[in-house]
């Protein structure tokens, strides 16, 4: 049994079926990729895992326990933290205080001084230490993405969900991000579930990849297996974008 298991999860929004009996398994310690064309249901799956959405049917288990019985505000305390496709930072707050939001979400009785020290260590790790007292507003987009990752890590998760962390980044920044994801897995001893459109990034860092299309799971396997899967190639070539499964180009 994996660290995270989704079994036949369905989520409807009126007449729209965003997830249609989706199954997904993430093993402890791996970097798992979750890909698919726009509208495939990837972020909806994240929102089900983090309890922002309740599925109409199916099960979600974390460490073998029913995650659907956990209130949304207790997900972080269970050991799951996430970033967002659209940045969810407080621009008027300092970079340090944004990271502290993650530490406070973890709960427990920790001295504020200890939490601030840990947050500063995270900022140093992510090469953001010089910006600790700087307001988040106005910082470069790539920097804001790293601040979100720092905030998620401050919650000390066992499972880190990254929702399109490469969105808006240039080629050089994506390469740095790939190395960062690998380092985070090793240095923090955690599991990563990555939703991303940037195929080259996904294929280079993932141990296993699951592919969604129109809310359904159409493939799961190693990056090599996914790149050769006819159903995956068809889904990407038929999505209206110019990308291919091997990451030769990226969709608009």
Give the tokens for residue 89. Answer: 């930072």
- Cα angle 197, 51, 226; round to 5: 30
Instruction: Give the alpha-carbon dihedral of 130, 132, 138, 139, to 10 degrees.
Output: 50
Spell out the domains of the chain, with CATH numbers in brackets.
1-72+191-252 (3.40.50.300)
- Specify the pLDDT at position 237: 62
Q: What Cα–Cα distance (Å) separates residue 160 from each residue in 55, 81, 157, 185, 236?
A: 21, 5, 6, 9, 26
Q: What band does 85 get if pLDDT is binned at 50, 70 and 90? A: confident
In this model, does residue 62 exceed pLDDT 50? Answer: yes
Q: How far apart are CA 195 and CA 34, in angstroms?
A: 5
This prediction's pTM: 0.89
- Mean of pLDDT over the chain: 89
- Specify the pLDDT at position 1: 63
pLDDT single digits (tens) 168-191: 888 899 999 999 999 999 999 999
Give the tokens for residue 129. Answer: 């230490």
pLDDT single digits (tens) 236-249: 765 444 344 444 33
């Amino acid at each position: 049994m994996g660290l995270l298991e989704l079994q036949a999860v369905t989520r409807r929004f009126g007449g729209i079926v965003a997830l249609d009996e989706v199954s997904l398994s993430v093993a402890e310690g791996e970097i798992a990729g979750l890909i698919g064309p726009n509208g495939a249901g990837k972020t909806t799956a994240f929102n089900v895992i983090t309890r922002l959405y309740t599925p109409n049917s199916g099960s979600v288990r974390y460490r073998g326990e029913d995650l659907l019985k956990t209130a949304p505000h207790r997900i972080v305390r269970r050991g799951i933290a996430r970033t967002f496709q659209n940045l969810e930072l407080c621009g008027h707050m300092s970079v340090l205080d944004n990271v502290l939001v993650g530490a406070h979400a973890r709960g427990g009785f920790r001295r504020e001084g200890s939490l601030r020290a840990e947050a500063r260590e995270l900022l140093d790790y992510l090469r953001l230490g010089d910006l600790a007292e700087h307001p988040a507003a106005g910082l470069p987009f790539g920097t804001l993405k790293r601040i979100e990752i720092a905030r998620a890590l401050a919650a000390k998760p066992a499972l880190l969900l990254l929702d399109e962390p490469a969105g808006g980044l240039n080629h050089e920044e994506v390469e740095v991000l790939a190395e960062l994801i690998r380092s985070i897995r090793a240095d923090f001893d955690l599991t990563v579930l990555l939703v991303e459109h940037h195929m080259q990034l996904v294929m280079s860092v993932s141990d296993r990849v699951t592919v969604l299309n129109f809310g359904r799971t159409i493939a799961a396997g190693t990056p090599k297996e996914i790149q050769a899967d006819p159903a995956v190639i068809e889904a990407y070539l038929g999505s209206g974008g110019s990308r291919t499964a091997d990451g030769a180009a990226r969709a608009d």
